[in-house]
Amino acid sequence: MSKPKLTYFNVRGRAEYIRYIFAEKQVDYEDSRFQYADKDQVLAVLREQGKLDFHQVPLLEIDGHNLVQSYAISSYLARQYNLYGKDIYENYLVDAISGAYNDTITEYYQSFIAKENKDQVLKQFSEVTLPKWLGFLEKFLTRNNGGDGFAVGNDVTLGDFYLLALYEAVEQFNNLANYPKLAAHRERIVNRPNIKAYREKRPKTEL
């Protein structure tokens, strides 16, 4: 069987938590990255091949399937590699974190690409929107073992990787100094051996 192939832009973006799953579980996969300038050409080929149900990446080719939509892909892998929690309630908690991640990161991306009053829009995000969501997540994390372990339950899950991807995306605006539980959680996850090794060798990108 061929190894999995992940196709996405050469950024962290909405593929990094997928890469974290592969890193944590030491899965041998092809990390196929392309530049934004090549987007039209790359996507045209994938669409012609019938691999993109919704005409967008990420795309994960695995187990004879073409998987799309980053949250669906990460949930598929989390189930496959036992990173989705131990029961249906922990599954829900992982999904709740994914929703919070999506809400926060979508507002960030909208601010980042704003064509008018971009500085003001980013200021609103960094001073109002982001602190709101980090506050929510600090409380959410604290409810699990006092916030001194993992995001969900007693072992690492996809929820931890959503949070790490969020920390990285917004670190230019907030160093988590006002969110001690999130800051400590970040350090625990980045220092997991397989995650640390992956982060040291991955391409350096802005997003």
Query: Which pLDDT tens digit goes with each residue over 68-126?
Result: 999 999 999 999 999 999 999 999 999 999 999 999 999 999 988 888 888 899 999 99
For 189, residues 6+ apart whose C-beta sits below 8 A from its C-beta are 156, 160, 161, 163, 164, 195
Phi, psi of 87 (to 5 degrees): -155, 180
- Please report, for residues 52, 101, 202, 204, the alpha-carbon distance to residue 97 in angstroms, rounded to integers and kept in the order given: 26, 6, 25, 26
Asked if pLDDT for residue 1 goes beyond 90, the answer is no
In 78-190, DSSP assigns E strands to none
Q: What pTM does this model have?
A: 0.95
CA–CA dist 198, 142 (Å, integer): 27
* Contact criterion met (CB below 8 Å) for 23 and 193: no
Query: Which pLDDT tens digit goes with each residue over 172-182?
Result: 898 899 999 99
pLDDT bin (cut points 50, 70, 90) of residue 207 is: confident
For 126, residues 6+ apart whose C-beta sits below 8 A from its C-beta are 173, 174
Give me the pLDDT at residue 114, please.
82
Give me the pLDDT at residue 175, please.
83
Query: In 10 A of CB 152, how many CB atoms?
Result: 27
